[in-house]
Amino acid sequence: MSTSPDVETDNKSRILDAAADAFMIHGFANTTVDAIADDVGATKGLIYYHFRSKFDIFLAAYEHGMRQVREQVEPCAYADGTGRERLVSMSIAHVVNLMTDLGYHHVVHQGVREQASVALKPRQRDALMNLNELRRDYEQLFHRVISDGIDDGSLRQVDAALAARTLLSSLNAVDVWYRRLDSQSTSAIRTLAYDVVDLIVGGIAESNR
């Protein structure tokens, strides 16, 4: 009997969720397919039914993480408002996504760092480079909105590319100290994200705005 598409999608999602958390806690090298299967409550056979290797799981988690955050942030980039207002909305959505999907966030950062690893095979390095293009394209969203804010006077006259990289680096640094509590509500996460963004974006905002 074949498995329904909905069940297959759910299985893949559970595998990726478990793998992202495992990669975050243990790192790619120290995570095993056995451990992922145990966390999912499945057999290794189910894992290999959906993915050829641990590295393919990692790539799928990386892509999922990038697509999820972009899905949350991109609408804010094209909403009404000044450049600063849109940048604040984008930054809040980014941090909320980070706090909600912390494991996937760590996978993306591991992928960026591992691109230069001599231990990777050429095929693996090429796959990571392709995914890192998604990350660079995502950064361009922030670059464009910062440029809009400079043009409309809501942001200071700064190097927009440098500001985008610095802003995202600062937002991403939240993962150093943030750990979600079981009792933490969605509203509390958003409030914390707003407070973080208010502190960070203030560094490039005009003081009279």
The domains of the chain are located at 54-202
The total number of residues written for the chain in this structure:
209
The confidence score (pLDDT) of residue 1 equals 40
> Tell me: the pLDDT tens digits for 79-131?
999 999 999 999 999 999 999 999 999 998 887 776 556 567 788 788 888 88
Among 55-59, 62-66, 123-127, 192-196, which is the least confidently predicted range? 123-127
Distance of CA 178 to the CA centre of its chain: 14
CA 57 – CA 82 distance, rounded (Å) = 40
> Tell me: the pLDDT tens digits for 174-206?
988 998 888 889 999 999 999 999 989 876 565
* pTM for the predicted model, two decimal places: 0.86
Higher pLDDT, 206 or 13: 13
CA 125 – CA 103 distance, rounded (Å) = 21
At 18, the pLDDT band (50, 70, 90 cuts) reads very high
Residues 6+ apart with CB under 8 A from 22: 31, 35, 36, 39, 103
User: Under a CB-based contact definition with an 8 Å cutoff, are residues 95 and 193 in contact?
Assistant: yes
The confidence score (pLDDT) of residue 114 equals 65
Which residues does residue 69 pair with via DSSP β-bridges, in sequence order?
none
CA 119 – CA 87 distance, rounded (Å) = 38
Name the superfamily (CATH) of residues 54-202. Tetracycline Repressor, domain 2 (1.10.357.10)
Task: Compute φ and ψ for 79, nearest 5 degrees.
Answer: -80, 175
At 47, the pLDDT band (50, 70, 90 cuts) reads very high
